[in-house]
Amino acid sequence: DEKVSSTWELIVAPWLALLRDTSFVVLLVLFSLGFAAFQGYITVLNSILLPEGFTTNQAGLVGVCVIGAGLAGAGVSGALVDATHRYKLLLVCPLVGTLGTQIWIALRVGRMSVAELYACSSVAGFCILAILPVSLELAAEITFPVPEFASNGLMYACGTLASFAMVFVLDAMQDPRPPHAMTRALWFLCGLWAALVALSAFVRVT
């Protein structure tokens, strides 16, 4: 009974309180779908690039570019949000940047040089992971005095579940005919990022 009571007080009760907060729910949806889009894209990267004539090694280096630049983006945005507290601006700008790079990749993937692919993927990674620390900091800000671990834990949990579903969604969009292009999946991701840019207008900083 004590363990059940402790779990309720530490995890379940704070999560229920968070889900009653409209501002947090908007941010939760934005974070979860963005996290899922990123994880899904990384997971099906080979399926996207190999039909377009890129090699397995080149696809692997694209993943390195995305992750490496993403870590830099997360570091920069985290430092900026701590210094300026411009949460909305530092959330919207990376979202717009991500949308732009995703559209560019969707339009150009079959005609890109390797250098252009690496550069575009680096910009995409920088923008996508720059969203992460801003979202987590903003969640803690708007849900105070709910403990920060509760909001962050719920966001990561929902993001992980959404990522699991996203991989199946993107994989289902693969063209069944050779060379099994992922064009529809790329444009689906563009539409998703456009929706997240629109959703960011409803994020409230309080």
Mind spelling out the 3-state secondary structure of 89-102? Answer: HHHHHHHHHHHHHH
Give 142's contacts (C-beta < 8 A, 6+ positions apart): 21, 23, 24, 27, 204, 205, 206
Q: What is the mean pLDDT of the chain?
A: 91
Cα 27 from Cα 8, distance rounded (Å): 24
| pLDDT tens, position by position, 182-193 | 999 999 999 999
Residue 9's pLDDT is what? 59
6 pLDDT more than 60: no
Report residue 7's pLDDT band, with 50, 70 and 90 as the boundaries.
Answer: low
| pLDDT (average), residues 174-201 | 93
pTM of the model: 0.90
pLDDT > 70 in the chain, percent? 94
Residue 169's pLDDT is what? 96
Of the candidates 101, 103, 135, which has an alpha carbon nearest to the alpha carbon of residue 118?
Answer: 101
Residue 150's pLDDT is what? 86
Distances (CA, A) of 205 to 140, 155, 158, 180, 183: 11, 17, 21, 44, 36
144 pLDDT more than 90: no
| pLDDT (average), residues 123-144 | 93
Report residue 4's pLDDT band, with 50, 70 and 90 as the boundaries.
Answer: very low
| pLDDT tens, position by position, 54-113 | 999 999 999 999 999 999 999 999 999 999 999 999 999 999 999 999 999 999 998 999
Give 13's contacts (C-beta < 8 A, 6+ positions apart): none
| pLDDT (average), residues 124-143 | 93
Give 62's contacts (C-beta < 8 A, 6+ positions apart): 45, 49, 54, 117, 118, 121
Distances (CA, A) of 48 to 44, 68, 105: 6, 20, 10
